[in-house]
Amino acid sequence: MKLNVCMLFPLLYEPNMRVAPQIGICSYITRFGHEVTWVISSEKDCQPKQFFFSGVKVYVTPYHHYLPGDFILAKIFNHIPYAFKRMRLILKIFREEKYNLIFVREDVFDGLVAAYIIKRKYKVLFVFQLPNPIEQYWETYEAEPKSPKFLYYLVARFIGFIATRLLHESDLILPISKWLKDHLIEQGIKGSKIMPVSSGVDIEAFLNKEGKDIRKRYDLSNSKVIIYVGTLDKARGLKVLIQAFSKVKQKNEGVKLLVIGRGSDEQHLKRLATKLGIKNDVVFTGRVPQPEVPDFIASADIGVAPGPPLSFYKVGSPIKMFEYMAMAKPVVANEEIYEQKEVLEQSRGGILVPFTPEAFAKAIIELLDNPEKAAEMGRRGREWVVKNRNYEILARQVEKRYLELLNSEREKSTNYNRLYRG
């Protein structure tokens, strides 16, 4: 059976857009002879457009900012006309082409269209991909307070309510980890329709990278380099990383910290680096094009994956850890994140520590002082990722589950028709 999957998710189009691993994994099935269509968004295009991206057909919905700013009421006002334009585009796509699955990543408005319009009108199966627990909508606001708090609370509760309904309406749920699966089961979701799809790596993108150009660009040639790749939001608690690096500098002069990404805490982190006297040794690159990420990691000696022990981070699947491992870099990660703990214990590709500056600093210093040990950890880590978190392996699992789901639905339909005719 040939799969034809329409995937709806809130990705903003740009030439070098960073695609979430779960989207990449579920789209990788095009290499097995199946078809995939994306419906994403753009803040730059005035009209819907269509193109192909890595073998995937892409439709773009324009998103207009009728009211400027990040205030929540402005966001709601801007989102309403966008949601209707997006719904019309989705309906047009389904009128013109036959799909057998509709996939939604997290977005509740896309989910409502998929579950209550597309699924019922076109008799397709509804797949809901959940990257975080539903509770995160509110916990994020608590970790990074915004005003008026009561309005954010109401929006978070509304989103959480709709998301819960969508979980019950879905035919298949793809949480980001087995721990999130357990959490969903505790909330009353049927375990039989849940299949975790954790983060993975497209191994081909991490081949033959040396990082020499990156070292030259940021004047890192004679330094040992510690790298962090990810968002710099306040909820991440990255002051732990800056404080840890300050302690590392006290023991090792010739070391730099390369910070890749943007976020709401970026300026605070820069001020902290200045206060600690390490401003010239912490390089903030901002967000970099996705195709360049492997080159940045290749330029480093050690990868760090600090994750605050908040409930929604604990059940996550940090892509940065797998990208470091794919590039054969030893990893320092905190043990409170369940997947980091399990993966590093299985692979022996790094060092697990508590989420404290002292613990991160001690592990980094240990790897800097023992380069042979660090290289061996990097080798083991890459070997484990290739065998366990390669896109192709994970995509085959998704393909198998999709086909099982479709065959089961076909058998139900056949048995119903026989019974009805009988």
For 89, residues 6+ apart whose C-beta sits below 8 A from its C-beta are: 39, 48, 59, 61
C-alpha span between 268 and 270 (Å, rounded):
5
Contact 184, 194 (CB under 8 A): yes
Buried b (16+ CB within 10 A) or exposed e, 77-96: ebeeebbebbbebbeebbee
The answer to whether 371 and 329 have CB atoms below 8 angstroms apart is no
For residue 419, the model assigns a pLDDT of 57
What distances in angstroms separate CA 119 from CA 173, 225, 233, 398, one per listed residue? 15, 50, 36, 20
What is the CATH class of 4-200+391-407?
alpha beta
Tokens of 30: 């095009």
* Cβ atoms of residues 176 and 131 within 8 Å: yes
**402 in Cβ contact with 393 (< 8 Å):** no
Q: Which pLDDT score is estimated for 152? A: 74
Tokens 């299949």 sit on residue: 195
Structure tokens at 392: 């192709």
pTM > 0.85: yes or no = yes
Local structure of 8: helix, strand or coil: strand
How wide is the angle at C-alpha 213 spanned by C-alphas 211 and 215, nearest 5°?
70
Asked if CATH classification 3.30.1280.10 holds for the domain at 203-388, the reply, yes or no, is no
What are the structural domain ranges in the chain?
A: 4-200+391-407, 203-388
At residue 75, the pLDDT reads 77
Q: At what angle do helices 239-251 and 266-275 cross, to 10 degrees?
A: 30
Q: Calculate the alpha carbon distances from 5 to 69, 120, 160, 198, 394 in Å.
A: 35, 16, 26, 19, 17
Instruction: Tell the residue number behind the tokens 């214990």, with chain if given.
Output: 345
Q: Are 96 and 75 in contact (CB under 8 A)?
A: no
- Residue 76 pLDDT: 77
pLDDT-flagged residues of the chain (< 50): none
**Strands 56-62, 49-53: pairing kind:** antiparallel
Is the fold of 4-200+391-407 the same as that of 203-388? yes
- Quick: pLDDT tens for 11-33: 888 877 888 999 999 999 999 99
The 3-class SS string of 125-190 reads EEEEEECCCCCHHHHHHHHCCCCCHHHHHHHHHHHHHHHHHHHHHCCEEEECCHHHHHHHHHCCCC
Q: Looking at beta carbons, which pairs linking 69-73 to residues 24 or more positions away fall under 8 Å?
A: 72/146, 72/151, 72/152, 72/155, 73/151
CB atoms < 10 A from the CB of 370, how many? 13
Q: Is the peptide bond before 148 cis (omega within 30 degrees of 0)?
A: yes
The answer to whether the CB of 337 falls within 8 A of the CB of 314 is yes
The Cα 11–Cα 72 span in angstroms is 19
Looking at residue 135, its amino acid is E
Provide the Cα torsion 285, 288, 292, 297; round to 10°.
Answer: 50
Structure tokens at 45: 């295009």
Query: What's residue 13's pLDDT?
Result: 85
